[in-house]
Structure 1
Amino acid sequence: MEKSKVYFTNLHTTINENLQQKLNRLIKTAGMQQIDFDKKFTAIKIHFGEPGNLAYLRPNFAKTVVDIVKELGGKPFLTDCNTLYVGGRKDALEHLESAYVNGFSPFSTGCHLLIGDGLKGTDEVLVPVKGGEYVKEAKIGHAIMDADIIISLNHFKGHELTGFGGALKNIGMGCGSWAGKMEMHSNGKPHVSQEQCIGCGMCIKICAHSANSVTDHKASIDHNKCVGCGRCIGVCPTGAIVAAWDESNDILNKKMAEYTWAVLHDRPHFHISLVIDVSPFCDCHAENDIPIVPNVGMFASFDPIALDVACADAVNRQPVMSGSLLEKSDHNHSDHFTAVNPSTDWKVGIDHAVKLGLGSKAYELITL
């Protein structure tokens, strides 16, 4: 099989070229302009950062991508879907407010921000997954599926469940609706935290299977009737209804790959990863720790698998950052990600994505 091309540039700058200009050159050298953007709606999938976390990508990088899409005649928008957990991005209003607080706005990025799965995380499209072993119909944010082109702008970093977060995670997990995220994270069905429940009955109104009920001002879910769609999670005003969070990390990685397939299948796509501020955990945390390795650089490719593998290889070649969780780890440092999060094996998701036909692990690294 022919190796996929992955383009790389380091973070050194000159008086004639700053980082945004260098990113522009990387993207164009990698050939993103080969896509026909003319009058096409272009979803730029990005993580806006949980408030309190300072490792997320700066809006300036997003603007560079937006400007190129506009230059090529496209109609870009920045997007992400709501979170399954209660935080600063659990519904569209809070999600947009968090994005604004973190510097993302039409004024700073040059395009509008759309939350892909709507106000309460329930605006979704059911996408059949051909060849899916675990997911038969992926539940993807409606606005993302309405787009003509997908561009992923990824902050490459560690992750406590998947080993690392790169292109596959940004797309697969990030584009899932509330129900989609629950399907990836859970083997079981949601339950009600009685302490938080106020007995409002919103879960009863949204349930199509009469699984929810309220007794003595407290809700409960009949798991014999519940189909695990997760819509009750989206409408609960207090966050009392929570997912099971009981899926194994290996199967989570495989489900995530199948969701990535659902988003990318039959559409033009391109992927950009910045390996900077490589925190040990996801940007979904309301805090970030010392990076586990020094900053590496910027990567781009049409192949999301090759891109993720190239970034992982680059990180694993780096020295351990003094004072980081990686330095404090008792595990073998040949793989920095499993050293920090030993219960994960990121290769499982990569291999499953290859099996689905999303790309290749073999890559040719082209350095600018």
Structure 2
Amino acid sequence: MNTSKVYFTNLRTNPSNNLLQKMERLVKKAGIESIDFNKQFVAIKIHFGEPGNLAYLRPNYAARIANLLRNLGGKPFLTDCNTLYSGGRSNAVDHLKSAMENGYNPISAQCDIIIADGLKGTDYREIPIDGEYCKAPKIGAAIADADIIISMNHFKGHEQAGFGGALKNLGMGCASVGGKLELHAASQPVIDTENCIGCNICVKHCAHDAVHLHNRKAVIDYDACVGCGQCVALCQYDAAVLGEGDTSERLNYKIAEYTKAVLQDKPHFHISFIMNVSPECDCWNHNDAAIVPDLGIAASFDPVALDKACANLVMGAPALSNNRVTDAHPHDHHTHEGEDKFCLIHPDTEWKKGLEYAEKIGLGRQEYELINV
């Protein structure tokens, strides 16, 4: 079996070779131009960053990629799906406002932004894959309808998945609000009666007649509930919420299946930025100190190989001081080079199991050749 190719460039620059130029040279060397972009709708999947978190990717990178794709004949747009939790990106109005606050607009990013699952997170397509855990993942409509998928990933730690890279950006990030419920939850949603005001919106929009009002409080009939997450997506009062959370291992398996649905039958290409490697997700409204030095940018057609290469680069790098790694091991006096820093800071996570499963279902290979550009 042939190994996958992962292309890598470090962050050293000079007056004639800045980071944007290096990134464009990298993706061209990795073969992005071999994709036929002519008159194709191209979803550039990116995370716009939760307000208050400053670890997200600068819009300059997105602008450079968007211009390249446009020059190749494509119709690119930047996109992400709404979040399951309350925050600055739980609906399209707030999501676009947050993107604008973080510098993403048609001028700076030179590309329009489309929130893929619509105003309230209910605009999605079910894509049948007959997965072991998710039979028909619920993917944001604009992403499902796109002809080509390009992912731009900030590589960092993650408190549930171990780390967030290409698979996390695609599998979790492209899921509609109801899809995120399926990914996170091991059980059906529940009603927090203290927050419920009896507005009746969950009752009106439940496609399975599983929600009713009793004494002006929503009540779920679990015999009828299918766990679609519509009530969680629509509730503006944090009354319809997640039930029991799933394990890290199963979450990573589900993320892989959702990624398979996103990429199914479509050309795709992936770029990961191993910079400001914060210990937790960009979905938090803060970013803690980076755990390793900024390392570089990597690109590949294979999202599994790309994630594995990025993980190996982070594990091989020395840990910085005064961060979550050193907090977890305050009496160590070495740099943790070669150690699994994701498990050091999130010991209950199972990121390796996720890559094994992604390889098993045909998303890519863990064996790779790293090519320096």
Decide: shared fold, TM above 0.5. Answer: yes
1:37-91 CA deviation, whole Å, 9 max, x = no partner? 0010000000000011000001011111101101101000000000000010000
In structure 2, the partner of 1:197 is: 196
The one-letter amino acid paired with 1:294 is P
In structure 1, the partner of 2:341 is: 336
State the 1:245 CA deviation. 4.5
- How far apart, CA to CA, are the structure 2 residues paired with 1:359 and 1:215? 50
State the 1:263 CA deviation. 0.5
1:160-193 CA deviation, whole Å, 9 max, x = no partner? 0001000000000000011111101011011111
1:301-339 CA deviation, whole Å, 9 max, x = no partner? 000000000000000011111000111114995100000
The one-letter amino acid paired with 2:353 is V
Helix, strand or coil for the counterpart of 1:107? Answer: coil
The one-letter amino acid paired with 1:137 is A
Matched, 1:350 2:349: no
In structure 2, the partner of 1:306 is: 305
- How far apart, CA to CA, are the structure 2 residues paired with 1:234 and 1:344? 27
Helix, strand or coil for the counterpart of 1:233? Answer: helix
State the 1:239 CA deviation. 2.2
1:196-224 CA deviation, whole Å, 9 max, x = no partner? 11101000001122211112222121212
Q: Which moved more, 1:206-215 or 1:297-306?
A: 206-215
TM-score of the pair, normalised by structure 1: 0.98
- How far apart, CA to CA, are the structure 1 residues paired with 2:223 and 2:260? 31
- How far apart, CA to CA, are the structure 1 residues paired with 2:124 and 2:44? 18
Matched, 1:104 2:109: no
Runs of 4+ with >3 A deviation: 330-333
- How far apart, CA to CA, are the structure 1 residues paired with 2:353 and 2:256? 10
- How far apart, CA to CA, are the structure 2 residues paired with 1:354 and 1:74? 30
- How far apart, CA to CA, are the structure 2 residues paired with 1:88 and 1:205? 25
- How far apart, CA to CA, are the structure 2 residues paired with 1:271 and 1:114? 19
Q: Which moved more, 1:237-246 or 1:16-25?
A: 237-246
1:238-285 CA deviation, whole Å, 9 max, x = no partner? 121111151111000001000000000110000000000000000000
* Structure 1 residues without counterparts, runs of 5 or longer: none
- How far apart, CA to CA, are the structure 1 residues paired with 2:16 and 2:70? 23
Helix, strand or coil for the counterpart of 2:94? Answer: helix
Q: Do the aligned partners of residues 316 and 352 (structure 1) sit closer, same or farther apart at CA in structure 2, a change above 3 Å counting?
A: same
- C-alpha RMSD of matched pairs (Å): 1.1
The residue correspondences of 1:33-182 to structure 2 (distance < 5 A) are: 33-130=33-130, 132-182=131-181
TM-score of the pair, normalised by structure 2: 0.97
- How far apart, CA to CA, are the structure 2 residues paired with 1:234 and 1:179? 6
Q: Which moved more, 1:356-365 or 1:218-227?
A: 218-227
Matched, 1:362 2:367: yes
Number of residues of Structure 1 aligned to a counterpart in Structure 2: 367
- How far apart, CA to CA, are the structure 2 residues paired with 1:144 and 1:237? 25
Helix, strand or coil for the counterpart of 1:145? Answer: helix
- How far apart, CA to CA, are the structure 2 residues paired with 1:47 and 1:338? 24
- How far apart, CA to CA, are the structure 2 residues paired with 1:291 and 1:171? 23
Helix, strand or coil for the counterpart of 2:127? Answer: strand
* Structure 2 residues without counterparts, runs of 5 or longer: none
Q: Which moved more, 1:225-234 or 1:151-160?
A: 225-234
The one-letter amino acid paired with 1:209 is H
- How far apart, CA to CA, are the structure 2 residues paired with 1:237 and 1:56? 26
- How far apart, CA to CA, are the structure 2 residues paired with 1:210 and 1:358? 37
1:287-310 CA deviation, whole Å, 9 max, x = no partner? 000001110000000000000000
In structure 1, the partner of 2:11 is: 11
The one-letter amino acid paired with 2:117 is D
Identical columns (%): 56
